[in-house]
Structure 1
Amino acid sequence: MKTFIIIAAINAFLAVALGAFGAHGLEGKISEKYLKIWQTGVQYQMFHAAGLFVIALLMSKLPQAGTLNWAGWLMFAGIILFSGSLYVLSLSQVSVLGAITPLGGLAFLAAWVLIIVSAIKFL
């Protein structure tokens, strides 16, 4: 639980910092297309940082739900793969890196499914 609160807070902090960097540091340096891709990475990072907070809170209420631990690690992996690949794609403009992004999306989906399973089984 504590681990996911820390990971969530770090990712929320990074999403704010990377959002500001994209808006102020990258403007005029990369095309509008890649600024939008950067922004998508920031949005998904923040959404899933919030998801990690939810997982941590659920873990405190449902300590027997091991599926929540898996959900947390999958959500964190999704942030790295999804948002991370979009940041690298935006900066490098190497389009083949976009092939990594769906793996992060799958990790996000699996994490949300595990939260649903945990709610059905333990609430």
Structure 2
Amino acid sequence: MDGSDFLSRSAAFMGASGVSLGAFGAHSLRSKLEAKAGGLDNWKTAVNYQLIHAVALLALSALSRTTTQSAVKAACQKAGKMMVLGTSFFSGSIYMLVLDKGPKKILGPLTPVGGLFMIAGWVYLGLM
């Protein structure tokens, strides 16, 4: 599997799971999320960032597949990997925190670390 395959598969997984988690939160978990202060808003934020980055990964995959410039291809793949890691940490930790799953001492700090990785991916992309 080359880098563009990783990006397109990651985009597909993040898109499908983002839509699924959004629907699950809006319907099956709504009362639980509303019972927790900020729970529904936090869930929506996690879903929103996940879906935005799924689209970004799809664009990076397309650019990586079509460019003939190896430096651009490498930059797309590196930026995409940062976004995958960042979105996994950011959105994943929010989902877990809102559901009261896992150790808060670990999950709490993962959210801003994930945000930093997402930002780093965008900055790296802007510098290519």
TM over 0.5: yes
- The answer to whether 1:45 aligns with 2:34 is no
Q: Given residue 28 of structure 2, which amino acid in structure 1 is its aligned partner?
A: G
**Greater Cα offset, 56-65 or 6-15:** 56-65
Secondary structure of the equivalent of 1:39?
helix
Classify the secondary structure of the residue corresponding to 1:28: helix
> TM-score by structure 1 length?
0.87
Aligned residue number for residue 94 of structure 2: 86
User: Which structure 1 segments of 5+ residues have no match?
Assistant: 119-123
1:11-60 deviations in whole A, cap 9, x for unaligned? 00000000000001111123251111111100000000011011112212
SS in 1 for 2:39: helix
Question: What is the CA–CA distance in structure 1 between the aligned matches of 2:76 and 2:113, rounded to whole Å?
Answer: 20
Number of aligned positions between the proteins? 118
- CA distances 1:84-115 after superposition (whole Å, capped 9, x unpaired): 00000100077543321111111111101111
2:30 corresponds to which residue?
27
Give ranges in structure 2 of 5+ residues lacking alignment: none
Distance 2:6 2:77 in 1: 10
> Which residue of the partner structure matches residue 121 of structure 1?
none
Question: How far off is 1:61 after superposition?
Answer: 3.1
The range that moved more, 64-73 or 30-39, is 30-39
Please tell me the residue identity of whatever aligns with 2:44. Answer: Q
TM-score, normalized by length of structure 2? 0.84
Structure 2 matches for 1:51-62, cutoff 5 A? 51-62=56-67
